[in-house]
Structure 1
Amino acid sequence: MKRIVLGVLGLAGLLYVVRRPLAMSAPRCFGGHWHGCYDTENGVVLMTLVGLPVAALAVWALVLVRRGGDRWRRSIAEVGVVYGTVPMVWLTLMPGPGAGLVPGRLSLVPLRDLVTMGPLGIGGNLLIFAALGFFAPMRFVALASAPRILVLGAGCSVLVEVAQYAFQLDRVSSVDDVLVNATGAVLAGLASRRWWRVPEKQREKVTTTS
């Protein structure tokens, strides 16, 4: 309960800080305009927050059509992966002002870009695949280990960086982005470890022992 209260307070504080930037995008987003909403960071964040009730309804609908004691966990994990990952990937694939005009840029020296990222940049990169790392091992037994979450996060990050380079989105494809993205996935996965899905044999063994 204490963690939930702290989480709610933290979210409320964050929303208070970003309320003005989000409010600037509200007229375009709620007016049904693509430009000025889904092609801006503030607009994407705003619509992600607005979509939270829809995500909750999706979880509820999945629970209703399923059976089994772990239906809540599976439903929350599936919706959580999509709801928490798609907007973040969308943000990373938003084109810059020189998209299509400038060639793709690479930064392959590890740890060189960390200095220029700054706290906000590092924090943002940690969050890119945090939802994936948090929820995927709750849904899939095969991903219920830190090394596999690391590989999953790194693999997805590599795909994003390759897309940024191949489509000339006026972004730098950096190895440091991959490192930080993968680290964020692992840290988030460790935070959800108590809810990881375990094999049936291991679950039966634990039940028998208890």
Structure 2
Amino acid sequence: MDTTTEGAAAPPTNRRRRRKGVAVRFGLAGLALLGIGAAATSANWTNDAWFNASSSSASVLLDGSAASATGPWSAADTDATGITFAGTTFSLLVPGQTRTATYWVKNSSSTCLNVPAPTITKAEPLAGVGANDASVTLSTSAIGNMAAGAVQAVTVTVTTPTTWSTTHQNQTSATALKIAYTGTTVAASTSTGACA
């Protein structure tokens, strides 16, 4: 009987030992995994590098003067504010006559401008319904690329034909001649504004 009693008591002790051993092994495995995760996250240090840049946009201003290469300058960017030549420059014209006047165009912008040939509009007495209109020519037609601050002198010449029609007699107009320039921005080759 002693042998039977000893044999019956042995299984519960072995089971308890096996259960404790398995629990300890699972616990150690969990701690090992936790340690690996902690080591992995604690090794990821970070730092940043930020970049900033300043930026600005250009100003666009095409000025004109009928006085001199140093001004005074006027924006004159509408028909109503156009620059007027001295009153006698193109007054009292007769057939076969030539008159000239010089004006200056300035790029007062902070960037390059391309200035093509201007639009020239004539009215009486320089042009009318009759033939033989007066001719208008410019010493410089298309100015082209102008650097910021550049000034271009232009001489305008008005010539009446020797056979000028009598329909142009006794005509007066404050806007007999209009010369209109348009400057368009062009990319500068450098940030200093030098023209490409």
TM-score (normalizing by structure 2): 0.28
Larger Rg belongs to: 2
Q: Which structure shows the higher helix fraction?
A: 1
TM-score (normalizing by structure 1): 0.26
